[in-house]
């Protein structure tokens, strides 16, 4: 066992070193990325299944690294959270997204992702209020997407923050629903407007019985609690038809469109205006 242990150690040590080095390097670069203007927002259409047309966009952050190319948000957002960069970065996202969305047709809403760390920041409400005021975007057009990880913290504070945000007139969506720490009691206690069914369930809903049942239950739960439901990660017509048949309100995914740069927004609106 000892020999095996040593063998394994030798084998893995350089690999661990490399990933640690990559992380350190990303961390250093990330600290400068904002000043160097390396971030941009892409937008993915949200599609209203009842009206059968596009109803808005979700802003998705992109980091154009000068040497590595596009670094996916799943790789740099956790680092930004750890090193305390997520709040300024999230503020930049909100400001930029609101500025851009105010130029769209007024029936287009804007969904913005909010990290749990950012959500817990005492200044977060001011940041949202300021972004709305500076851009003059109507709060009714803004939807903040939070994940179940916000509930890991003090739930009284979480609840107070949610109420203050809602008092501004904006909506709150619970993202990646079903993948996290969720307890159904959260749904009773917290004022969500929307449940976003995670793409893992959407992917399997046409294949496995378990996912199909979960999707059906989430949609009916949403309905009975007065919440809108949206299915993310729709890639096939089959998945789309399934979600429509189940009574899901909105859909989003590669079938409609990949996330696009802001310059392609007008074309997407035209393209997806009618079925
Ligand atoms: P998310 O909020 O769940 O966003 C959906 C992700 O699924 C996006 O990945 C999107 O490009 C991808 N996606 C959309 N349609 C499909 C589809 O049909 N199939 C598949 N397989 N994927 C699809 P992306 O842009 O790489 O973002 C990953 C995650 O990074 C997001 O997941 C979100 O948690 C986070 N993120 C992105 N932008 C921001 C941001 O501005 N702030 C914060 N805090 N997090 C962000
Ligand atoms: Ca999201
Ligand atoms: Ca999601
Ligand atoms: Ca996610």
Average of per-residue pLDDT across 208-237: 92
What does the pLDDT average to over 106-111?
A: 98
Residues with CB under 6 A from ligand 1: 44, 59-61, 72-74, 77, 90, 93, 113-115, 145, 175-176, 199, 232-235, 253-254, 259
Across 14-18, 160-164, 217-221, 232-236, least confident range: 14-18
pLDDT, tens digit (0-9, with 9 covering 90-100), for 155-212: 889 999 999 999 999 999 999 988 876 667 778 888 899 999 999 998 888 888 888 8
Q: Distance (Å, rounded) from C-alpha 256 to C-alpha 269?
A: 11
Residues, the chain, total? 275
Pairing of strands 39-48, 250-251: antiparallel
Closest Cα to atom 43, ligand 1: which residue? 113
Which residues pair with residue 40 across a beta bridge?
Answer: 62
- The per-residue pLDDT for range 52-90, each reduced to its tens digit, is 999 999 999 999 999 999 999 999 999 999 999 999 999
Quote the CA–CA distance of 269 and 241 in Å, as a whole number: 21
Ligand index nearest the alpha carbon of residue 115: 1
Percent of the chain with pLDDT over 90: 77
Q: Ligand 1: which residue has its CA nearest to atom 12?
A: 233
For residue 11, what pLDDT band results from cuts at 50, 70 and 90? low
Better-scored residue on pLDDT, 137 or 180: 137
Predicted pLDDT at 2: 43
**pLDDT at residue 12 above 70?**
no
Q: How confident is the model at residue 275, as a pLDDT?
A: 58
Q: Which two tokens stand for residue 247?
A: 């009574």
> And the tokens for 119?
């959500």
Q: How far is the CA of 151 from the centre of ligand 2 (A)?
A: 17
Output the average pLDDT for the chain: 91
**CA geometry: angle at 196 spanning 59 and 165, to 5°?**
65
Which residues 6+ apart lie within 8 Å of 247 measured at CB? 219, 220, 223, 229
Distance CA 140, CA 152 (A): 28
Percent of the chain at pLDDT > 70 equals 93
C-beta atoms surrounding 69 within 10 Å: 8
Collapsed DSSP state (helix, strand, coil) of residue 219: helix
- Pick the residue whose CA is nearest to atom 27 on ligand 1: 73
C-beta separation of 7 from 57 below 8 A: no
CA of 155 from ligand 1 middle (Å) equals 26
Which residue minimizes the CA distance to atom 32 of ligand 1?
Answer: 74
Per residue in 22-60, pLDDT tens?
899 999 999 999 999 999 999 999 999 999 999 999 999
This complex has an ipTM of: 0.98
Integer Cα distance of 204 and 208 in angstroms:
6
């Amino acid at each position: 066992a000892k020999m095996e242990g040593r063998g394994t150690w030798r084998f893995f040590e350089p690999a661990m070193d490399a990933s640690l080095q990559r992380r350190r390097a990303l961390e250093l670069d990330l600290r400068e990325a904002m000043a160097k203007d390396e971030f941009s927002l892409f937008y993915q259409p949200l599609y209203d299944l009842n009206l059968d047309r596009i109803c808005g966009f979700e802003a998705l952050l992109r980091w154009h690294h000068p040497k590595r190319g596009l670094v996916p948000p799943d790789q740099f957002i956790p680092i930004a959270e750890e090193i305390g960069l997520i709040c300024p970065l999230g503020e930049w996202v909100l400001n930029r997204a609101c500025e851009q969305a105010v130029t769209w047709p007024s029936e287009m809403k804007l969904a913005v992702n909010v990290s749990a760390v950012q959500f817990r920041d005492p200044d977060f409400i001011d940041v949202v209020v300021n972004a709305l005021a500076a851009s003059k975007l109507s709060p009714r057009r803004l939807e903040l997407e939070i994940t179940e990880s916000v509930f890991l913290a003090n739930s009284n504070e979480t609840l107070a923050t949610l109420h203050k945000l809602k008092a501004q007139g904006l909506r709150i969506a619970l993202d990646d629903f079903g993948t996290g720490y969720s307890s159904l009691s959260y749904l009773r206690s917290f004022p969500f407007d929307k449940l976003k069914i995670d793409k893992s369930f959407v992917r399997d809903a046409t294949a496995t019985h378990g996912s199909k049942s979960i999707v059906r239950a989430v949609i009916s739960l949403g309905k009975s609690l007065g919440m809108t439901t949206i299915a993310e990660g729709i890639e096939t017509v089959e998945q789309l038809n399934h979600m429509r048949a189940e009574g899901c309100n909105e859909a989003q995914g590669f079938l409609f469109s990949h996330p696009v740069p802001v310059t392609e927004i007008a074309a997407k609106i035209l393209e997806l205006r009618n079925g």
